[in-house]
Structure 1
């Protein structure tokens, strides 16, 4: 009899088709996981879950007594209650590495689009408002090259963003993270700063930390007021790493010049969110890793993690090692 697994929200078709050959797979998308009878029935017998943004808490785990592994198709895993999973010897995994360059490309693209006001001026042209050969100063953007880029979170993606800024745009790189990064300091001439120092000195502030209890709400009113009035804020991490209402007020008050956002406090963003009516805000729908090549690579790695866990092996990207130690 084939082992039962659940696929949730996003698993690329070639990977899903391959899993279906080996396992009894049921795919669910954007359902009420606490009340959907088909989901709960399959969960009660499933040994593994693979997918994106499934909230995993004690209640879900109570309904999945046979679970061995939960494999996220993402680098983030704030949707997993790791303490509860570890108590029950359930392994959690993620997909780091394969999306690093893709996310860094996205973040830097948003930075460039915000600095040069590209979405706003694209609409300006399409609306037929371009009436003279040369636009006036009211449509000017801001230079990127030779400016100071402050990166909050110098992990794999932070380093990839630093690489683009340092080598591509001759930017001075500042960073703030839990630990010093000698390799980044040597390779990109990056300088460590306290958070306040980084905010005060940077022309562009890029948020790329994971969402943890320590980083939730890390950037709020006080931090926005620390930034230069000419600063541009970019968030490519998670929406809840900042206080979104404080960002809105900072933009309204002119505490900072503009913002580029790939993530939001609530996703999808509410249609009445004031950010959507601000010309100095560039918004994208959490597309950091959303290319055909990268999404497929993430699904493949997530499936590798899943199958290792199902077979009692240590997954290559285990985020709660204590769960495997308990199994051993």
Structure 2
């Protein structure tokens, strides 16, 4: 008898075809994210779960999982899953890091380019009929990237890859990380270690690449913004809750900082009534850091393989805790 697998949302056709060969699968087709009531109802009778970063797999839900052997999340983050409790219940948890490194670093750098050269702002001006005259010598100017200081907060896989992009643009790179790199690694990346406070004060662009944890929750707040240069920019492609969004709106409105490029938000999705959408000095992307065809296909393959391994009491390719 085939084991039962529930997906909170569909994967690509090739991945679903692979799953159907091995399991009896059910795909949630309603509103996303799935409601806790429905998830709790489904989780009681399944052997494997495939979820996404906006799903909440908490202790209360996992307590109901009588047969569950594996959770495979289609994401690099796993803060939406109570991994400690899953470990206690001997539920394998797999995730999909590494394969989305280039795509996310590319998007982070695209946001840097966009906010500094005001590309999206210009697009809006043209579409709204605001380009009435040929701009003069000092009209609608952006900023060069060369010789600007990029402060990378969290120099993991994505942060390191972003540093490579920035180096090609002759930017100065400083970073803050829980663990300092070796001198050889710093030399290779052209990056200098700094304290958190120094990075915040000295950077022309602060790019956030830390996971969302108790320690990083609301890490970037008004106290942080007031230390930043009023000519500086914030880029966030990590997790929305790392930044206090209310404080960010205030900082942007009052020109405490010059602008921001955001791919993630405290609550997603955001709508046109969100105060961020009313500001010209912010570029908004709908959480598309990993959203390239090549990357998403790789993520789907790993998601399926993680599930296959975990459901058979084997360690996933990328495993959390157990």
TM bucket by the smaller chain?
over 0.9
Q: What CA deviation, in whole Å up to 9, does each residue of 1:250-272 have, x standing for no partner?
A: 11221100001000111011432
Report runs of 4+ in structure 1 exceeding 6 Å deviation.
Answer: none
Distance between the aligned counterparts of 2:216 and 2:59, measured in 1? 23
Change (3 A) 1:135 1:11: farther
Aligned to 1:117: 118
The reply on whether 1:70 has 2:71 as its aligned counterpart is: yes
Change (3 A) 1:185 1:31: closer
- Figure out how many residues of one structure are paired with residues of the other and give that number: 318
The 5 Å alignment of 1:133-172 reads: 133-135=134-136, 137-166=138-167, 168-172=168-172
TM-score calculated relative to the size of structure 1? 0.93
SS of residue paired to 1:289? coil
SS of residue paired to 1:35? helix
Task: Calculate the aligned-residue CA RMSD, in Å.
Answer: 1.5
The reply on whether 1:319 has 2:320 as its aligned counterpart is: yes
SS of residue paired to 1:137? coil
Distance between the aligned counterparts of 2:10 and 2:242, measured in 1? 24
Change (3 A) 1:65 1:254: same
Distance between the aligned counterparts of 1:31 and 1:73, measured in 2? 13
Change (3 A) 1:312 1:32: closer
SS of residue paired to 1:276? helix
TM-score calculated relative to the size of structure 2? 0.95
Aligned to 1:181: 181
Distance between the aligned counterparts of 1:209 and 1:101, measured in 2? 16
The 5 Å alignment of 1:1-328 reads: 1-29=1-29, 30=32, 32-36=34-38, 40-53=40-53, 54-135=55-136, 137-166=138-167, 168-182=168-182, 184-321=185-322
Q: Compute the displacement of 1:110 (Å).
A: 1.0
CA contact (8 A) 1:114 1:258 kept: yes
5+ unaligned residues in a row in structure 2: which ranges? none
